[in-house]
Amino acid sequence: MYDNNKIDYETKSKFHLGVSGKIVKWNSERGFGFVKTAEVANDIFFHVNTLVGKDEISPQQNESVTVYAKYDDDKKRWSATKITSPKREQLRAEREAKEHALICPMKDKLKWVAPVVGIWSLLVYGVSLALGISYLLISLITLAIYALDKKHALDNTSNRIPENTLHVLSVMGGWAGALVARFLFRHKTQKRPFVQLFWVTVALNVAITVYLVLSGSLKAIGS
């Protein structure tokens, strides 16, 4: 058994390349635990952020893992830089494959979303600078709110943004920002009722804008 008081290059090299061990302690509330290995006497500290596949599987007592670690001279202990296993690597690979399968279609859709938003913005700016700036600000606010709602969804909190709020922002002129946000953040793209109503808000805002232009109401706003 290796003595922690005599840190040598060979042991550091082993942990740099990864050694076998077992999880012997895990504190789920504080997000840290310890791994026992044959290379050192003391258990190796690890934080949840060093776990591969931490979102897919929780650490298990006596779980066999490969630990990468470094020695902390100040704390006089070994700390893991990475905790993994074949199962964890497989789960991570499956998650990344699913994300890739989602991201590619979203990128393809952004290729037509960007021109549509750009052309619409140029048309509005060409008719009324004030209206164009107003729509731009509302779109930026809408994009930020979509991002916030996506964060709340990932955190699984109850502080979600009501869908009606998102639709109202689109009607007010923020649909361009919403359109970009939906594909940029992969948010609100699968729920069919929401998607259908979203396109209704787009058509409604376009109709209102066309009416303002043809009726001459924009003259009161100024150009």
Report the predicted TM-score, pTM, of the whole model to 2 decimal places: 0.50
Which SS3 state, helix, strand or coil, does residue 76 take?
Answer: coil
Residue 18 has pLDDT above 80, yes or no: yes
Q: What is the pLDDT of residue 218?
A: 66
Q: Which residues contact 83 (CB under 8 A, 6 or more apart)?
A: 23, 35, 46, 50, 51, 52, 59, 65, 66, 67, 68
Residues 65 and 109 in one domain: no
**Do 21 and 65 meet the contact criterion of CB atoms below 8 Å apart?**
yes
- Which amino acid makes up residue 56? E
Render pLDDT for 19-45 as a digit per residue (tens, 0 to 9): 999 999 999 888 899 999 998 888 999
CA distance 163 to 160: 9
Span 90-109, average pLDDT: 68
The whole domain housing 188 covers 96-221
Asked if residue 46 has pLDDT above 50, the reply is yes
Task: Name which residue leads in pLDDT, 20 or 216.
Answer: 20
Contact 99, 59 (CB under 8 A): no
Q: Which carries the bigger pLDDT value, residue 153 or residue 97?
A: 153
* 3 within a domain of the structure (yes/no): no
Last residue of a domain, one of 84, 114, 138: 84
61 and 140 co-located in one domain: no
108-136 tens-digit pLDDT: 666 767 677 777 887 787 778 888 888 88
| Total Cβ atoms within 10 A of residue 126 | 10
CATH number at residue 40: 2.40.50.140
Tens-digit pLDDT profile for residues 129-177: 888 888 889 999 999 999 999 888 877 777 889 999 999 999 999 988 8
In a shared domain, residues 51 and 114 = no
CB 178 within 8 A of CB 142: yes
